[in-house]
Amino acid sequence: MPAIAFRPRLLDALRGYNRALLRADLMAGVTVGIVALPLAMAFAIASGVPPQAGIFTAVIAGALAAALGGTRLCVTGPTGAFIVILYGIVSKYGVANLLICTFMAGAMLVLMGVCRLGQVIRFFPMPLITGFTNGIAVLIFLTQLKDFFGLPIAKMPSGFFAVIAELSRHFSGLHWPTTLLSSALLLLILLWPRRLNRLLPSPFAALVLATLATMLFDLPVATLGSRFGGIPQGLPAPAGLDLNPAHLSDLLAPAFTIALLGAIESLLCAVVVDSLTADRHDANQELIGQGIANMVVPFFGGIPATGAVVRSVTNIGNGARTPLAAVFHAALLLLVLLLAAPLAAHVPLAALAAILVSVALKMGDWDIRKARQFPRHDTLVLVVTFVLTVAFDLTVAVEIGLLMAAVFFIRSMASHTGFRRLLPEHAQLFERHSIAGKSVPDGCAAFRVEGALFFGAADSVDIILREAPRARAVILQLHRLVLLDTSGLLALEALRARLAEQGKTLILCGAADEVMAMLEGSRLAERLGEGNLQPDLTSALRRAEAVLTDGVVWG
């Protein structure tokens, strides 16, 4: 495997950088920073960690991924996709082990990039991605109902059934001031005019208005100050990770889930950005950049980060030109930490809950009419992945969803593999091969192999023995064979051996370059015998005539 060239997109962007580009990047970065501030705090709280952890993540990971990644305009930070996973890790293993999981996931992302797995990750089927994205959206919605309605729940459990049971037990304790405030803010976010969104993003507007209302009217609602004591000013000093080797095996699975989801989210975000800008990202470099960012943030108390579609689209819409726009977004958040951290104590939790409920509503693809356009097996993958994500675990959902998608794909590929017998009346075919007026020689049977001859369809070669029991020479035309694997080679070898036992000859012809290379590189070409691997049908038919005339059997 060739070594990957480590070349962040920022290096290319800095060539010819000028004042006009700086102005455009700075304005875009400031706007994205305003969007990111409430989201970073909301995602952190929903993940079971203090609000400042989200801001630390957006600052550090946002700057590092922009500087070291393989995209030009993507913005990195904490995202809603991680909430359910992170909350489960914190509930089961604690915050210290979440930091270790984040570091391990970052190392896995770097390894994915070094091993050039960037393109492979993008081949995850869309029904699978839609299924777990909708499932995550439902779980985010449910976990925010506690703060949205001000329910007297000390700590939300993890797991769908436990959350439903806890909400049902405490729903009679609904707090009306909190409910009215969060409902008003949710309507404000959802109904905020698009033309104003570029000037003042709706989540930030909701955060500012809710904070001012809480300060001016002394609203009886829970705030960041009452729950967390506010947020500290500035970034913390880096600290070591509290590594317990006994937990490493337990943390491997959740770390891999974080890495896999982070890779999918980041590369999907890169694809969206490419579609809007006619750009082309470097998937492997992006995985390395994201991995390094996630390896660094745990030392500052941060949580996993990935490319964020909404922030990236906002970045593009506000005129960003280079990765420095994302660096400026991180710088603005750092400035907020340094100058305005004391004001965060007045931010009501209802505002952050309303923001996350709006994220959940916008995050999912709820148009069920689209399912009518899907093949039934794709709809089944989507539904099963959705149900497993909501009811059980994202890791299980992805594993089973991938397995189902793979099985359906194999079955579909196998169903498109066929052997079409070439009969004497196929005059046009034989005219093209300069043997017009002649049919297939007596004692010869010719077949065209179509599709893929692989482990899922290798047993289909038995059709040939049934279709031509009296033929003494069998021709397989391979020019429409798109895939041949080891199982397919073994099936051809078994066919050759069975024909040879009966004194018959197998002739292969018309193979494409890759298939021909496999045939010649295996022992099959040698066992076929000299002259029984031909470049085209004309040569194969002439070879069959010679074999039948001479009575020679090869193999």
pLDDT tens-place string over residues 334-383: 999 999 888 889 999 999 999 999 988 888 777 776 667 778 888 899 89
Q: In this predicted structure, what is the pLDDT of residue 4?
A: 64
Contacts (Cβ under 8 Å, ≥6 apart) of 108? 255, 256, 259, 291
Structure tokens at 25: 């990047």
Low-confidence ranges of the chain (pLDDT < 70): 1-4, 122, 369-371, 423-439, 456-460, 551-555
Structure tokens at 17: 């950088």
Q: In this predicted structure, what is the pLDDT of residue 550?
A: 72
Structure tokens at 48: 């079971």
Taking the CA atoms of 153, 156, 160 and 161 in sequence, report the sign of the dihedral they define: negative
Instruction: Find tokens 């009969």 and name the residue.
Output: 423
- In a 10 Å sphere around its CB, with 0-12 CB exposed, 13-18 middle and 19+ buried, how is residue 49 labelled? buried
Helical H segments across 340-375, by residue range:
349-363
Domains of the chain: 20-234+249-407 (no CATH), 418-551 (3.30.750.24)
Q: Residue 497 phi/psi, 5° resolution?
A: -65, -40
| pLDDT tens, position by position, 27-77 | 999 989 998 999 999 999 999 999 999 999 999 999 999 999 999 999 999
Q: Residue 475 phi/psi, 5° resolution?
A: -105, 130
Q: In this predicted structure, what is the pLDDT of residue 428?
A: 45
Q: In this predicted structure, what is the pLDDT of residue 395?
A: 76
Cβ atoms of 288 and 9 within 8 Å: the answer is no
Q: CA–CA separation, 206 vs 171, rounded Å?
A: 25
Cα–Cα distances (Å) from 363 to 99, 133, 201, 310, 356, in that order, read 26, 7, 17, 10, 10
Helical H segments across 122-237, by residue range:
126-149, 160-170, 176-191, 194-197, 202-217, 224-228
Report which of 411, 68, 401 is spatially closest to residue 264, judged by C-alpha positions: 401
Cβ atoms of 514 and 479 within 8 Å: the answer is no
Q: In 3-state terms, what secondary structure has residue 409?
A: helix
Cα–Cα distances (Å) from 34 to 62, 191, 329, 338, in that order, read 14, 19, 8, 15
Q: In this predicted structure, what is the pLDDT of residue 127?
A: 85
